[in-house]
A and B are shown apart, each in its own frame.
Chain A
């Protein structure tokens, strides 16, 4: 029969053996991955010949296709496409074709035929979207 001292010694050996012979050591590291897509939004305007040669002698309401706007945008927040008239500020306000001699004006409005993806609509990736521009005016 073992003496109490030997029994105590035996129990002292076991946990040290377990510690001295580890079976599940873990070691971990991390590698961080990253790629950036820059924001890019652009337009390309194409002007039709009809924008320069209008049938100003034909009476009635006219709708003339004057150009297209090719759009690309990868921003989730979207964009807004606006049009402005260089001759719009002299009274009365509004887009107009202006003739300095004999000081005639022809008011007109702008119409945009939006593509299915929607210029100015957030949440849609715009790839080669095209809007067609028209001017509408009335000849007396």
Chain B
């Protein structure tokens, strides 16, 4: 008895690390902000391709697009997501504008069948705050999903 012929099993591990600055966003600053909110550390034995996909919990509320929201006032600050990746496996080094106006197809990194060893993708959010916001707490949840292809 043996396994099906062909490539062996894909063996990949991923670690998500949040940056404390993700909870201290300067939403009242009226100048453009680029804040690193976390990293995704990846290891993969190269037996499968994979995609790193990002989603926003508030994306579908009101006008489509990622946004920080205060549920009590419905005030919001729109943002987009950026990934800075190693170029291994055909990855784009910089992917910007994710979730700016759309809530689907937000691939931060696409990796072809390539051995990946302890590589990090940096996750940023880009936004411009406002001095004309209601007082409150503006938040969102970014979900990062690794899809094996």
Contact = CB atoms under 8 A, between A and B. Distances in A.
Nearest to A21: B9
B87 interface: no
Interface in B121-143: 123, 125, 129, 132-143
A16 B40 CA distance: 31
Nearest to A39: B135
A110 to B, nearest CB: 29
A52 B135 CA distance: 38
Interface stretch (B19-27, B90-98, B112-120): B19-27
B134 A74 contact: yes
Given A21-B9, A39-B135, A34 B22 contact: yes
A35 B135 contact: no
Interface string A5-42: 00001001100110011111111111111111111100
A33 B68 CA distance: 8
B127 to A, nearest CB: 9
A30 B68 contact: no
Interface string A72-97: 00111000000000000000000000
Contacts of A34: 22-25, 68, 137-139
Given A21-B4, A23-B48, A33 B26 contact: no
B48 A35 contact: no
A17 B133 contact: no
Residue among A16, A20, A35 having the largest count of chain B Cβ atoms under 10 Å: A35
Residue among A23, A25, A26, A33 having the largest count of chain B Cβ atoms under 10 Å: A33
B136 A32 contact: no
Contact of A37 (B2, B22, B24, B138): B138
A31 B145 contact: no
Contact of B146 (A13, A20, A26, A32): A26
22 contacts: A9-B1, A17-B3, A20-B9, A21-B3, A21-B7, A21-B10, A25-B10, A26-B147, A27-B12, A27-B14, A28-B145, A29-B143, A30-B144, A31-B18, A32-B141, A33-B22, A33-B37, A34-B23, A34-B68, A37-B134, A74-B132, A76-B73
Top 6 closest pairs, chain A to chain B, by CB: A29-B16, A35-B27, A35-B25, A39-B135, A17-B4, A27-B146
Given A21-B6, A37-B134, A74-B132, 6 more contacts: A13-B4, A28-B146, A33-B37, A36-B136, A36-B137, A37-B133
